[in-house]
Amino acid sequence: MAAAELTDLVERARTGDPRAVARLISLVENDSPLLRDVMAALVAHAGSARVIGITGSPGVGKSTLTSALVTAFRGQGRRVGVLAVDPSSPFTGGALLGDRVRMQEHATDGDVYIRSMATRGHLGGLAAATPQAVRVLDAAGCEFVLVETVGVGQSEIEVATVADTTIVLLAPGMGDGIQAAKAGILEVGDVFGVNKADHDGAEHVVRDLKAMTRMVEREPGDWRQPIVSTVASRGDGLDEMIDALEKHHAWLAESGELESRRMRRTRDEIEAIALGTLRQRFSEIHGDERLDTLAAEVLRGALDPYAAAEEVVDAMS
């Protein structure tokens, strides 16, 4: 792509042209060499979007809630971006079929950008790509960017590091209390949603969550995670959810936590890009062959992994 073409693309994205936005996110997804120029052009125009993460186990209704939130924000006249991040995509190529179906009602709304994003399999792929895709949507004038991700564990934690506010969504019948605690949801959630609140066992989930959140030690002025019951498929509890999001945003701004979360997210992004550069530098110098040779020596017990890593570091520096 010529420099003039890139400048044009960035300009069009800034005015909100959906095709230009989609094109830029593809560059992010593919870790294009053009990204540097794209980010340099966008960075001064980003910083006002509110980033809301939505996470939880498969089947709890994340996409349905996301779609309902989009409808609500659109009703307020706000431009909205949705990133459905699929951490499984290093293997699958990442088609979020279910989500796409649920999001279809927004497909013809020019002020809603919906994007399923795959991340490459390397370490920190999500950490580097998600903030960049958020920046594209932010610079394109989205006031809200919803980042939806499946799963518990590492991916959930990575989403929490990207978002200003993280909604952890649960539903009845998805595992017991100990399991939920184990998945670390207490620590990543700013707002808990208990979806499918009309199903059996929903009250039990709410009760467990209440008991767990009560056990968290808090200082005065700390955020108290609200628990919102929803039936996202018919919009029940949506007003309460939006109210909880507004309250959390106000707390973030007042407490200084908004600034420190965004600082952390940017530090992580810089570090991920730096590590990517170093990794690439190593592969340019030696190719995968050298790493293969080192790995083979470790496997046959002739070299320890730290000595091997030292060779890698020396080659990178």
Which parts of 5-64 interact with its own copies (CB under 8 A)?
35-36, 39-40, 43-47, 57-59
Binding segment toward its own copies, per CB under 8 A, in 68-76, 202-210, 216-224, 291-299: 291-299
* 95, β-bridge pairs: none
Query: Could you give the string, one character per residue 79-118, with x where binding to its own copies holds by CB under 8 A and - elsewhere?
Result: -------xxxxxxx---xxxx-------------------
Min CB(90)–its own copies separation in Å: 6
Per CB under 8 A, contacts with its own copies among 215-254 are: none
Q: Does 262 bind its own copies (CB under 8 A)?
A: yes
Give the pair of three-digit tokens for residue 40: 């340099």
Query: How many CB atoms are closer than 10 A to CB 33?
Result: 9
Using CB under 8 A, pick the residue from 10, 129, 174, 206 that binds its own copies: 174
Q: Which is nearer to its own copies, 143 or 297 (CB)?
A: 297
Instruction: Kindly write down the DSSP assignment for every residue of 22-89, as one continuous string.
Output: HHHHHHHHTT-TTHHHHHHHHGGG-S-PEEEEEEESTTS-HHHHHHHHHHHHHHTT--EEEEEEETTH
Using CB under 8 A, pick the residue from 74, 120, 279, 286 that binds its own copies: 279
Q: Does 162 bind its own copies (CB under 8 A)?
A: no
Query: Could you give the CA distance from residue 191 to residue 212 in angstroms, rounded to a whole number?
Result: 14
Min CB(302)–its own copies separation in Å: 8
Using CB under 8 A, pick the residue from 70, 80, 127, 140 that binds its own copies: 127
Residue type, 84: A
DSSP 274: H
Using CB under 8 A, pick the residue from 158, 164, 190, 208 that binds its own copies: 158
Rg (alpha carbons) of the chain, rounded to whole number: 21
Query: Could you give the CA distance from residue 158 to residue 272 in angstroms, rounded to a whole number?
Result: 12
Q: Does 270 bind its own copies (CB under 8 A)?
A: yes
Using CB under 8 A, pick the residue from 267, 284, 285, 287 that binds its own copies: 267
Min CB(102)–its own copies separation in Å: 10
Number of residues that bind its own copies (CB under 8 A): 93
Query: Could you give the CA distance from residue 82 to residue 274 in angstroms, rounded to a whole number?
Result: 27
Query: Could you give the CA distance from residue 85 to residue 96 in angstroms, rounded to a whole number?
Result: 9
